[in-house]
Amino acid sequence: MPRAYSLVTGGAGFLGSHICDALVHKRERVCVIDNLSTGNIDNIKHLMDNPLFRFVNKSIVEDSTIEGLIKECDIIYHFAATVGVKLVYEQPLTTILNNIRSSEFVLEMASQYGKRTLIASSSEVYGNRRGSVRRKLREDDDIHIPHGKRWCYATTKALSEHLAKAYHAENNAAIVICRLFNIVGPRQTGTFGMVLPRFVEWAVNGSPIKVYGNGKQRRCFCSVRDAVDAIVKLADLQSASGHTFNIGSDKSISITQLAMKVKRITNSASDIVYIPYQETYGPDATDVLDRVPDISKIRKFIDFEPSQDIDSIIRDITDHYLAHNARKDRR
Distance CA(52)–CA(50), nearest Å, equals: 5
Phi–psi pair at 298, nearest 5 degrees: -65, -30
Pick left, alpha or beta for residue 261 (phi over 0 → left; psi -120 to 50 → alpha; otherwise beta): alpha
The per-residue pLDDT for 134 is: 55
> Cβ contacts of residue 131 below 8 Å, gap of 6+?
137, 290, 291, 292, 293
- What is the distance, to the nearest Å, from the Cα of residue 295 to the centroid of all Cα atoms in its chain? 17
The per-residue pLDDT for 110 is: 96
20-40 confidence digits (pLDDT tens)? 999 999 999 999 999 998 889
Please report, in tens digits, the pLDDT of each residue of the chain (331 residues total): 457 899 999 999 999 999 999 999 999 999 999 999 888 999 999 999 999 999 999 988 776 788 899 999 999 999 998 877 777 788 888 889 999 999 999 999 999 999 999 999 999 999 886 555 457 999 999 888 888 777 888 999 999 999 999 999 999 999 999 999 999 999 998 766 689 999 999 999 999 999 988 999 999 999 999 999 999 999 999 999 999 999 999 999 999 999 999 999 999 999 999 998 766 666 666 677 788 999 999 999 998 999 999 999 999 999 999 988 776 656 5
What's the CA angle centered on 129, arms 125 and 135, to 5 degrees? 115
Query: DSSP code of 137?
Result: B
Distance CA(44)–CA(41), nearest Å, equals: 6
Choose among 281, 280, 272: nearest CA to 207: 272
Total residue length of the chain: 331
With beta carbons less than 8 A apart as the criterion, state whether 324 and 189 touch. no
Query: DSSP code of 123?
Result: G
- Domains of the chain plus CATH, in order, are 5-184+222-249+294-306 (3.40.50.720)
Active site residues: 153
Contacts 24+ apart (CB under 8 A), 22-28: 22/228, 22/229, 22/232, 23/232, 24/50, 24/52, 24/53, 26/232, 27/3, 27/52, 28/3, 28/4, 28/52
- pTM of the complete model: 0.92
With beta carbons less than 8 A apart as the criterion, state whether 163 and 174 touch. no
Query: DSSP code of 30?
Result: E
Q: What is the DSSP code string of 224-282?
A: HHHHHHHHHHHHH-GGGTT-EEEES---EEEHHHHHHHHHHHTT--PPEEEE-HHHHH-
